Amino acid sequence: MTKKEERDTKRAFWLKHLQECASLKEHLSTYARRHQLNVHEGYHWTRVLRREGRWSPQSRSAASAASAIVASKGTARFARVRVEPPRAVPAFLLRLQLVLANGRRAELLLSDERQLPRVLDLLEQPG
């Protein structure tokens, strides 16, 4: 079988499954898993068939159409975003190394010395 024949066979296979998926009004991911198909391959062939004009968003189910990528029709769409300034990284880190009586070691990095009393309180509690 030539490469072209293999591709035509896969094209027909996925077109059949996409049509069945749309008739059942299922999401492609749900349908593919139920039929033990590769989900990523299904989305790949959806894009290929759409690009070739053999599959359109209108032929998809209403459920999966809601999650479909909006096909560009010349109308720009924008979303309002807010850019926040980056959070300041503490100028210093307090590095605390503990060697316990049983030989175990622990290392703590504290961003503020005000955390130290809480750590000491936790360490002094009976186990």
Higher-scoring residue by pLDDT: 72, 55: 55
Q: How many helices (H) and strands (E) in the chain?
A: 5, 2
Q: Helices marked H in 1-127 — which ranges?
A: 3-24, 28-34, 39-51, 62-65, 116-124
β-pairing, 94-99 vs 105-110, is antiparallel
- Tell me the per-residue pLDDT of 16-42, one tens digit each, with 9 for 90 and over: 999 998 888 889 999 999 999 999 999
pLDDT of residue 59: 47
d(CA 63, CA 84): 35
pLDDT score of 72: 46
Q: pLDDT digit string (tens) for 71-98?
A: 445 566 777 878 888 777 666 678 888 8
